[in-house]
Amino acid sequence: MSPPSVETASKPVAADRSLFRASQSRVEGLRDRFHQVRKFTNALCAGLEPEDCVVQSMPDVSPTKWHLAHTTWFFETFILKKFDPAYRAEIPEYAYLFNSYYNAAGDMHRRDLRGLISRPTVSQAQRYRASVDSHIDDLLSNLDESLLDEIEQILVLGIHHEQQHQELLITDIKHVLAQNPLYPVFRGRARSPSAPKISTDDSEIRPYQFVEFDEQIAEIGHDGDGFAYDNEGPRHQALVPAFTLATRPITNGEYIAFIEDNGYSRPEFWLSLGWMTVNEQRWDAPLYWTKRDGAWWNFTLSGLRRVDKSEPVTHLSYFEADAYANWAGARLPTEFEWERAALSCPIEGNFVETELFHPVAVVSAVSGDKPGKGLHQIFGDVWEWTRSAYSPYPGYRAAPGALGEYNGKFMCNQYVLRGGSCTTSRTHIRRTYRNFFQPEKRWQFTGIRLARDLA
C-alpha cells in the first residue's frame, strides 16, 4: 500500500488540533466560571464575623458556615468522588454534616440542628472550600476528554446550585442579624457603579396600570437552549385565557393602605389557612417591619431604615399577597400568565450584582424611565408570587439518583414564584425559572404583582 499523500495526511491532524483547542476552551471557560462563582460566595462573607456565621435563627435558616460547606460538599460528592479515582476525602464525616436532602447520597444531619454544630469552625469550612477547589482544578487540568460532557453538565449544575445558595446565604444572614436589637449592618448603602440610581421621592411613583394580553395557546417551559433545571420542562403548550397584568409590583405605600384599612383583621380577604396563620403568628405587617412613633421602619441589610413608600413591598407570604390582591379587587397571576408576559421583557434589573441587597423604586429601574404602559421590574427586586401550585409539567419525570432529587421531590404544598429578586444573580435567572416556597414563608424577598381577568 502506498503511503498517504501529504494533503490527505494533514487533514485529520488539523481536525484533531481544532478539537483539542475547542475542548481546552470549554475547560478553561468552565474553570473560570467555577472560580468566579466560588469567589463571589466568599466575597459575600467578607464583612461577617465568625460569630455571625454560626447562628441558626429558625429552622428554615442555615448558618452561613453551613452554606459555605454544603456548596463545597456538592462538588466533592458529585464530581470528585465520582470522576477522580485518586480522590480521598480529608474528613469523611463532612458527607453527613453537609448533605442537605439528597437521600440517595447518604444520611444527613438534621436541618433544624445545624446551628448547634460548632465544629468545623468557619476557618476550617473555608479550608475545606479551598481544598476542594484545588482538587477541581487538578481534575480539569488532567481531564479525560471522553468525560468532558458528563463533568460539564454536573459542574454547571453545581455552579447554579451555588448561586441559589448565595441568595439563601444573604436572606438567611438577614434573618439572623434581624434578631439582634443592635440592628447590625451587613453592607452599607454605598453603591457599586452598576447599581441603579435610588430615589426616595414618593411622589415620583405613578399609580400602576394594567397591560392587556389576549387569549393564546402559549409555549411554556424551557426550549433546551442553555442550562435549565428539570422542573422547567418539558416544554409544552398551555391555554392562557385573556388577562391583564399590572405594570409594576405593589409598593410599600400601597401596602400600608391595606394595613391601615384593617387588612390583617378582616377575614373576608384571607384564605382559611392564611387567616389561621395570621392569628397564630400575630402578623400585622410584612416581616422586618416595626412601628415607631407612628411611622413604619424596616430592617434591611444596611440596617434599620424608615420604610420608603416608593419601593416594592417585600418579605410577604403567599397568604398576605393573596389577601392584598383580594382587597385590591384583583388576583395574583398564574405562572403561565407571568411567563407569557415576560417573553417580551429584557432580563435586566436590580440583581445581586448591584450589591444593593434591597428592592428599589420603579423610577430607579436600570433604564431610568418612569413607568408607562409597559411592564417594569418583571426581573429582579422581588420574587413575585403566582397563584399556581408547584407541580410537574406534563411529561415530567425526575432523573434517577441523588441529582434527580433536586426539584421533583418538593412538588407538593408549595406555590411558584417568578422573576428573581435583588439577591438573585443575573446569570442565574431565566424567563422559565420556577422558584417555589410554602405559602407561609416570607423571609425571602417576595412581593406582589397583580393580575385581573380580562372582561
The CATH number assigned to the domain holding 154 equals 1.20.120
Pair 156, 272 in one domain: no
Question: What's the Cα-to-Cα distance from 329 to each of 245, 277, 322, 434, 452, rounded to whole Å?
Answer: 13, 22, 11, 26, 8
> What pLDDT sits at residue 369?
45
How much is the pLDDT for 400?
85
Set of cell numbers at residue 170:
444573604
User: How confident is the prediction along the chain (455 residues), in pLDDT tens digits per residue?
Assistant: 444 433 334 445 555 555 555 588 899 999 999 999 999 999 999 999 999 999 999 999 999 999 999 999 999 999 999 999 999 999 999 999 999 989 889 999 999 999 999 999 999 999 999 999 999 999 999 998 899 999 999 999 999 999 999 999 999 999 999 999 999 999 987 555 455 554 444 446 789 999 999 999 999 999 999 999 999 999 999 999 999 999 999 999 999 999 999 999 999 999 999 999 999 999 999 999 999 999 999 999 999 999 999 999 999 999 999 999 999 999 999 999 999 999 989 999 999 999 999 999 986 444 444 444 599 999 999 999 999 999 999 999 988 887 887 788 899 999 999 999 999 999 999 999 999 999 999 999 999 999 999 97
Per the CB < 8 A criterion, the answer to whether 123 and 51 are in contact is: no
Which pLDDT value is given to residue 402?
79
- Check whether residue 157 and residue 248 sit in a common domain: no
Among 154, 139, 138, 129, CA closest to 70: 129
Q: Tell me, yes or no, whether 168 and 311 share the same domain.
A: no
Of all helices (H) and strands (E), which one includes residue 437? strand 435-437
Which contiguous run of DSSP H or E holds residue 152?
Answer: helix 148-178
In-domain check, residue 194? no
Question: In this structure, is residue 356 part of a structural domain?
Answer: yes
User: Does residue 256 lie in a domain region?
Assistant: yes
Q: Report, in this order, helix, strand and coil percent for the chain, each rounded to 5.
A: 40, 10, 45
* CB neighbourhood size of 121 (10 A): 13
Contact yes or no for 450/328 (Cβ under 8 A) = yes
The three cell numbers locating residue 28: 478553561
Name beta bridge partners: 216. Answer: 240
The answer to the question of residue 378 being in a domain is yes
Amino acid in position 141: S
* In 301-414, beta strands by DSSP E: 303-306, 383-389
The answer on 144 and 63 residing in a single domain is: yes
> First vs last Cα of the chain: how many Å apart?
82
Q: State the burial class of residue 148 (Cβ atoms within 10 Å of its Cβ: 0-12, 13-18, 19+).
A: middle
Number of domains the chain contains: 2
Tell which of 178, 210, 229 closes a domain: 178
Residue 188 resides in a domain: no
**Boundary residue ending a domain (118, 145, 178):** 178
Asked if 143 and 276 sit in the same domain, the reply is no
| Cα–Cα distance, 361 to 349 (Å, whole number) | 11
The dihedral built from the CA positions of residue 35, 106, 397 and 149, taken in this order, carries a sign that is: positive
N residues, the chain: 455
Grid cell at residue 37: 462563582
| Beta partners for residue 217, in sequence order | 239
Q: Is the same domain home to 150 and 251?
A: no
440 found inside a domain: yes
Give SS3 for 297: strand
CA distances from 7 to 2, 10, 11, 12, 17 (A): 14, 5, 7, 10, 16
pLDDT of residue 21: 59
Q: Are residues 210 and 243 in the same domain?
A: yes
Asked if residue 159 belongs to a domain, the reply is: yes
pLDDT at 206: 86
Q: Is the peptide bond before 312 cis (omega within 30 degrees of 0)?
A: no
Query: 388, 335 in Cβ contact below 8 A?
Result: yes
- Same-domain pairing of 132 and 227: no
Last residue of a domain, one of 143, 178, 213: 178
Helix, strand or coil for residue 444? Answer: coil
Are residues 249 and 145 part of one domain?
no
Which amino acid appears at position 272 of this protein? S
Q: What angle do CA 362, 368, 369 make, to 5 degrees?
A: 75
Q: Which domain holds residue 73?
A: 6-178
Q: Which of 125, 163, 111 is nearest to 48 (CA)?
A: 125
394 and 259 co-located in one domain: yes
**pTM for this predicted structure:** 0.91
The pLDDT assigned to 227 comes to: 95
Looking at the structure, tell me whether residues 130 and 265 fall in a common domain.
no
**Same domain (yes/no): 138, 258:** no
Quick one: how far is CA 290 from the chain centroid?
A: 26
CATH of the domain at 276: 3.90.1580.10
In a domain, 402, yes or no: yes
